[in-house]
Amino acid sequence: LLLPAWLMGSGFDPNDQKKITVLRHFDIPPSYLKDPYLHDTYDQKKRECTLQGFADTSEDGEVFIPMLSSLIAQSDLPSEFLFVVLVESQLQGSATSSRGAAGLWQFMESTGKLQGLQVNQFVDERRDHIKSTRAAIAYLSSLKKQFGKWYLALIAYNCGDGRLSRAIAKAGTTDISVLTDPKRAFLPPESRKYIRKVVALSLLATDDVFISKMQYDTFLTM
């Protein structure tokens, strides 16, 4: 099976200003564009999105995605945090993980309750699109205040603030290149992959040629 040349790719231009701007929104230095594992994740997501689309969802994207984008735009979160939902749940409000995380933002029950969501035998607000999004925004904002950088907030969202704090203490730095280095393994593999997936999808959305090929205009309204 021969794939078209535009799909094969070989990473991206490390001097691409659009991509550098995306990294800055995450408080990530431009040098991270040279990270080989980010390149691999970017190419993998490009292939996956080409074959499957950005999201496998039954929701009404024309209404649903702009609603999420609007709530994020009203907060201090960068607009690219819409892609967190894609990584977490593929925009499936009914998604439930093997560990019990539920909803768009994949809140665990305990974390959801701490963020003010009702979870009991009668209601599970983790599956409420608006309430869960507002709770996720508040949680991510608090993590940003705690750790000082958006990429650290995202890592903590995935592995927990205690786990991230221990990783930073062990590494002796908050440098993303050090924390996500698989050879040093300061963070769990899932968390290292997680931050790269979110960043890779955000970078992919700046690729005009790819977006035009995908004909997925919804994401261009972010």
Beta bridge partners of 119: 124
Catalytic residue of the set 48, 80, 88, 125: 88
Calculate the alpha carbon distances from 55 to 61, 89, 149, 167 in Å: 10, 9, 27, 32
Per DSSP, the three-state class of 50 is helix
Give 172's contacts (C-beta < 8 A, 6+ positions apart): none
DSSP letter, residue 211:
H
Beta bridge partners of 107: 102
Per DSSP, the three-state class of 73 is helix
CA distance linking residue 41 with residue 11, whole number of Å: 9
80 assigned to active site: no
Per DSSP, the three-state class of 96 is strand
**Distance, C-alpha 92 to centroid of its chain:** 15
For residue 104, the one-letter residue type is L
What is the set of active-site residues? 88
